Amino acid sequence: GIQVEQSPPDLILQEGANSTLRCNFSDSVNNLQWFHQNPWGQLINLFYIPSGTKQNGRLSATTVATERYSLLYISSSQTTDSGVYFCAVFPTSGTYKYIFGTGTRLKVLA
């Protein structure tokens, strides 16, 4: 089945720093989503981005489907950005289900 790898696995930043999180997938996908799981366990939708670039405030994402990767950019990080960031892909082939990556655990220090 499709493999979804995220890097880095862990990231510690000072408040105000920028970061780039990466999601690589091993097969073609129809959809891709980025989620933020906050310290209370809630999964929050960040982007639905099967291809192209989107921006929402300090966050932006780019998916290059032909090269099988997606990037999540966080600028001017805040302590509330702490948590785990997951990408989830919906493979083109196979059954209807999302496959989640292993996540990037981000800690932003004040």
Partner 1 sequence: DSGVTQTPKHLITATGQRVTLRCSPRSGDLSVYWYQQSLDQGLQFLIQYYNGEERAKGNILERFSAQQFPDLHSELNLSSLELGDSALYFCASSGGGVNYNEQFFGPGTRLTVL
Task: Indicate the residue among 20 and 42 with the shorter CB distance to partner 1.
Answer: 42
Q: Which of 37, 54, 38, 36 is nearest to 46 (CA)?
A: 36
Shortest Cβ 61–partner 1 spacing (Å) = 14
Site for partner 1 in 70-99 (CB under 8 A): 86, 88, 90, 95-99
Per CB under 8 A, 48 contacts partner 1: yes
The phi-psi region of residue 95 (left if phi > 0; otherwise alpha if psi is between -120 and 50; otherwise beta) is: beta
- As a whole number of angstroms, the distance between CA 61 and CA 46 comes to 9
Rounded CA-CA distance 67/78 in Å is 31
Q: Does position 55 bind partner 1 by CB under 8 A?
A: no
Asked if 53 touches partner 1 (CB under 8 A), the answer is no
Interface ranges with partner 1 (CB under 8 A): 30-31, 33, 35, 41-45, 48, 86, 88, 90, 95-100, 102-103
